[in-house]
Chain A
Amino acid sequence: MVQLLTGLRHNRKALIGLTIVLIIVLIAIFAPLLTEYNPAARTGRPHQPPSADHILGTTRLGQDVWARLIYGARTSLAVGFAAGLLITVVGTALGIIAGYRGGKTDEVISFFTNMVLVVPNLPLLLVIAAFVGQAGPMVIAFILGITSWAWGARVTRAETLSVKQRDFVKAAEMMGEPQWRIMAFEIFPNVLSIVGINFIGSVIFAVITEATLEFLGLGDPNVISWGTMLYNAQKASALSVGAWWDILAPCIALALLGIGLSLLNFAVDEIANPRLRTGSNLGRWASLVKAGEGRL
């Protein structure tokens, strides 16, 4: 854990990623201080380009795009983190149980995991969301949580299988520790980097998928989020009438959040698996070769 944190501090990808995510989080928290407009209210004429009054222009209904964007960040982040957490908890629990218990338990869990992996995720979500009706953000987060844990379960299981062979687990077994204690206190801390990767990956997935479902018209159109912004802009034919700000604003926001989270994710992956690193030592190596200090 400590190793993970110090590793993150020295990793450039992690720093850039964390900065991006933190800025978005701060903007979302302090949204009321950053705009005078009510994001739901008509505050100007329809489809006005960016100006001093409306720095990102207005929607077709005359709402302020910047206000909607920063209030919408709250929804996207909340759904992302809630769903990400749910996905990770379910995936980690199933993965550790399957990997550690083995035998019949493993067979059953693995069978379901593989099944969920081959049923295409977005079409499944679409069917569920369509029956739920106009799903609010937290309903979407819940649906994501129960349908998207399979990848995490699979990688956690694989990691558990190797941790299980280690001496401290064997020792704990010898001392007669109950299984749940071994799973919670011996296995779990040692698969933490996988859990971290799973969590960040799930948050990315949840943010993207929530926006996609809303864009496809399966969300509650009265909620203010990046997905409904895209949906409303698309319905208002924003691109063909040339109101690019209406659509590009949420696009750029989604891309930035995605990039920030991915950078963090790759950084954790590199720290857990040092071989993947592009490392500064190779730069030093190259300069030494150039200086004639040695060769291969």
Chain B
Amino acid sequence: MPFLLRRTLFYLAAFIAAATINFFLPRMMPGDPVALMFSSAASELPPESLAALKLTFGFVDGPIWKQYLTYLASIFTGDLGMSVKYFPLPVTELLGRALVWTVGLVGTATIISFFLGSFLGMLAAWRRGTRLDVIISVCSIFATSIPAVVTSLVALYFFGFTFGWFPTGYAHDPALDPAFSLQFVGSVLHHALLPMITLCFVLTGGFTVTMRNNMINLLGQDYVVMARAKGLSDRRVMVLYAARNALLPAVSSLAIALGTVLGGSLVTEVVFNYPGLGNTLYQAILARDYPVIQGQLLVMTAAMLVANFIVDVTYVLLDPRLKGSG
């Protein structure tokens, strides 16, 4: 399918761009890039590990393009180096563990808030000018304009500390060993709930506004008017004619929103001390663990590109005009 093939090639280019930034950034900073990146490593790591680490990041003898190719080669073989703080844990493994929690949290929150937001936006647009519309619009403006860090801190303070309804950190009760037991799964859900609700609160408003605007612009379309003239029920016109079409631009704006979603989740994880990518990254920043900091950009970019690809596929499935004809 040419559309999807084109997108895939574009994503590959974007991933290489992220890697290129990683490669040039330490070399653009004043001073010696090796000293900058591995100052803490030099004192803690055995010399042969340090040499391996340098090789991974392209610090080899030779012209810059050779260094660049060396770096790209290590990335595409899945070698992101080792964490300095948690030596000798490879970065891929460290981030891989964290990614599971982030994907679970962010994926669920995104799906919930996308559907909830689109539903509220649909209602607001359909009942434009009524009290329902005003309430939904004003609430979503408020929800979107409050920074994720603020929402998270306030939620943690009230629901975690003051009322004590939810745990204030970690992904599950530390006393439990990971297992497929009811107790463990329950603990995981209980720990995920507050960060999840917070993220939904942060994200839903944006989706609501997008859907409302898309839908209002569609309500004047002839096919929506014709659906009403056909005597179809209001609900059928609203869902199958107006919302179904307004969903198309909403899905493609979802792809752009994913960046914000990831950013929001980073912060939420740090506040809730949730062991996902955000928190791993926070620890790495505090320790100036550069291999991990660089690795997260690649992992995040890859996650973003996969999510974008899923959005593209969904779009193709939803819009018959893109099927077949390309």
Contact = CB atoms under 8 A, between A and B. Distances in A.
B110 interface: no
B154 A118 contact: no
Q: State which size class the interface on A falls in.
A: 35 or more
A127 B281 CA distance: 10
A242 B150 CA distance: 17
B157 A122 contact: no
Most chain A CB atoms below 10 A, which of B133, B146, B294: B146
Interface stretch (B43-51, B70-78, B175-183, B282-290): B282-290
Interface stretch (A98-106, A159-167, A208-216): A208-216
Contact of A278 (B134, B142, B154, B255): B134
Nearest to A261: B145
Most chain B CB atoms below 10 A, which of A132, A207, A251, A273: A251
A120 B259 CA distance: 5
A73 B18 CA distance: 34
A278 B133 contact: yes
A33 interface: no
Most chain A CB atoms below 10 A, which of B150, B259, B270, B305: B150
B154 A248 contact: yes
Contacts of A204: 145
B308 A118 contact: yes
B145 A262 contact: yes
13 contacts: A114-B10, A114-B14, A118-B255, A118-B305, A119-B304, A121-B260, A124-B21, A126-B293, A126-B296, A127-B294, A131-B36, A247-B157, A259-B146
Q: Closest 9 CB pairs between A and B?
A: A282-B129, A122-B263, A262-B145, A258-B145, A123-B300, A208-B147, A251-B150, A255-B146, A120-B259
Interface of B: 10-11, 13-14, 17-18, 21-22, 25-26, 29, 36, 128-130, 133-134, 137, 141-142, 144-150, 153-154, 156-157, 160-161, 168, 212-213, 216-217, 220, 255-256, 258-260, 262-263, 266-267, 270-271, 281-282, 285-286, 288, 290, 293-294, 296-297, 300-301, 303-305, 308
